[in-house]
Structure 1
Amino acid sequence: MTTNASECFNDVLKPARGMPIQALVCATYYHTIDLFLKQQENTIGWESEAVPPYIPRVRVMLRKHAEEAESCLG
């Protein structure tokens, strides 16, 4: 489990090796944002499916968290 997580982290940082610290932080930041945007697209797709993968209670919780997250963007 630990090796797998560290390998994933290594793959994220591999393109940024040899860069100054500021560039490394920016590369990590933008990669993280990209992952969040991809997950958001997946979630939007799930909501429109005829048979959603989540039970109603979980969908309500996800919608609530999404609303709270949108209020943080402002």
Structure 2
Amino acid sequence: MTTNASECFNGVLKRARGLPIKALVCATYYHTIGLFLKRQENVVGWESEALSPYVPRVCVMLRKHAEEAESCVFSIRINYNE
């Protein structure tokens, strides 16, 4: 997890390495704002589709777990023999 975060941050700074510190901070700031705006556009698109209250990644995980649950051999019994 640490490697992925550092590689992501390294990718942001790759183009701005030779710049003075003020320009480096500005470049990082504007890149981060751009990522937030892109994410916001995605969320607005997901909300307008209104297919699910969850983001697509969570929907895929829920679908996968539901398929696994359907293939269970043993039935789940609640309060059995109590």
TM-score where L is the length of structure 1 = 0.68
Q: Which amino acid aligns with 2:38?
A: K
Distance in structure 2 (CA, Å) of the matches to 1:12 and 1:18: 13
Q: Percent of counterpart pairs with the same letter?
A: 81
Backbone CA RMSD of aligned residues: 1.6
1:4 aligns with 2:4: yes
**TM-score normalised per structure 2:** 0.62
CA distance in 1, matches of 2:45, 2:2: 31
Considering only CA atoms, is the larger Rg found in Structure 1 or Structure 2? 2
Q: How does 1:1-74 map to 2 (within 5 A)?
A: 1-54=1-54
Cα distance in 1 for residues equivalent to 2:35 and 2:24 = 17
SS at match of 1:28: helix
Bigger relative contact order (CA 8 A; separation at least 6): 1
